[in-house]
Structure 1
Amino acid sequence: MDDRIEEGGSTTRPPLLADSNYDYWKNRMKWYLKSQDEAIWRATQNLWTPPTTIVNGVITVKSENQWSTTESVTCAANSKTVSIIQCAVRPSVFKIIQNLKTAKESWDALQLTYEGTKSVRNSKLHLISTRFEYLTMNDNETIADFEKNLRYIANESIALGEVIPESKLVRKVLISLPEKFSSKIDAISESTDFENLRFDDLMGKLRTHEMTLAMRSRDKFKSKSVAFKTDVEDAPVKTDEQQLIHVQLALVTKNMGKMYRRFNMTKLNDYTSSNQKGNRSFQKKNESEGGNQRVTKGETSKGRYRFEKEQIQCHECQGFGHIAAKCANTLERQKKSFIST
Structure 2
Amino acid sequence: MVGSSSAGGDLRTPQFNGTNYDFWAVKMETILIAFDIWEVIEVGINSHQSPEVAIGSGDEESEAEQTTLHTSTTSREDKIKNAKAISLIQGALTDDLFPRIRNEKIAKGAWDILSREFRGDKKVRVVKLQVVRADFEYLRMAESESLDGYLAKFFATVNNLKSLGEDVSENRIMQKLLMSLSKRYKSIVSIIEETRDLDVLRAEEVIASVKVYDKREDLHDERDKLTGTEKTFSSLKIGNNQAYNSHKGFQGRPPQRWQSQDRRGPNSFPNKTGTNYNNSSWNNAAWGSSQVSTKP
Distance 2:20 2:196 in 1: 43
Look up the match of 1:33. 32
Q: State the alpha-carbon separation in 1 of the partners of residues 121 and 240 from structure 2.
A: 82
In structure 1, the residue matched to 2:97 is 93
Q: Provide the C-alpha distance between the structure 1 equivalents of 2:28 and 2:245, rounded to a whole number of angstroms.
A: 84
1:52/1:137 Cα in 2 relative to 1: closer, same or farther (>3 Å)? Answer: same
Correspondence list, 1:1-341, <5 A? 5=1, 7=3, 11=10, 13-35=12-34, 37-38=35-36, 40-55=37-52, 58-62=69-73, 71-230=75-234, 242-246=246-250
Kept after mapping to 2: 8 A contact 1:154/1:163: no
Q: Which has the higher contact order (CA 8 A, sep 6+)?
A: 2
> For residues 47 and 113 of structure 1, what CA distance do their matches in structure 2 show?
20
Q: Measured at CA, do residues 183 and 98 of structure 1 come closer, stay the same or move farther in structure 2, by a change above 3 Å?
A: same
Answer whether contact 1:170 1:202 (CA < 8 A) is retained: yes
Identical residues among aligned pairs (%): 22
Are residues 51 and 221 of structure 1, via their aligned partners in 2, closer, same or farther at CA, if it must alter by over 3 Å?
same
Q: Could you tell me how far 1:232 is from its partner in structure 2?
A: 5.6
**What is the one-letter code of the residue matched to 1:94?**
F
Instruction: Report the CA distance between 1:130 and its aligned residue.
Output: 1.1
* Per-residue deviation, residues 198-238 of structure 1 (Å, max 9, x unmatched): 01110111111111111112222333334445556667956
TM-score scaled by structure 1? 0.62
Partners of 2:203 and 2:177 lie apart in 1 by 9
Q: Give, in angstroms, the shift of residue 101 of structure 1.
A: 2.6
The alignment partner of 1:52 has SS state of strand
Q: 3-state SS of the aligned residue for 1:51? A: strand
Paired letter, 2:17: A
Larger mean CA deviation between 50-59 and 165-174 belongs to 50-59
Using the alignment, how far apart are the partners of 2:5 and 2:84 within structure 1?
21
2: CA distance, partners of 1:239 / 1:75: 93
Q: Deviation at 1:53? A: 1.9
RMSD of equivalent CA atoms: 3.3
Q: Structure 1 residues 248, 31: CA separation in 2 closer, same or farther (over 3 Å shift)?
A: farther
Where does residue 278 of structure 1 map in the other structure? Answer: none
Q: Distance in 1 between matches of 2:243 and 2:215?
A: 48
Whole-Å separation in 2 of the counterparts to 1:126 and 1:238: 69
Q: Are the counterparts in 1 of residues 171 and 198 from structure 2 also a CA contact under 8 Å?
A: no
> Which structure's residues are more often helix, by fraction?
1
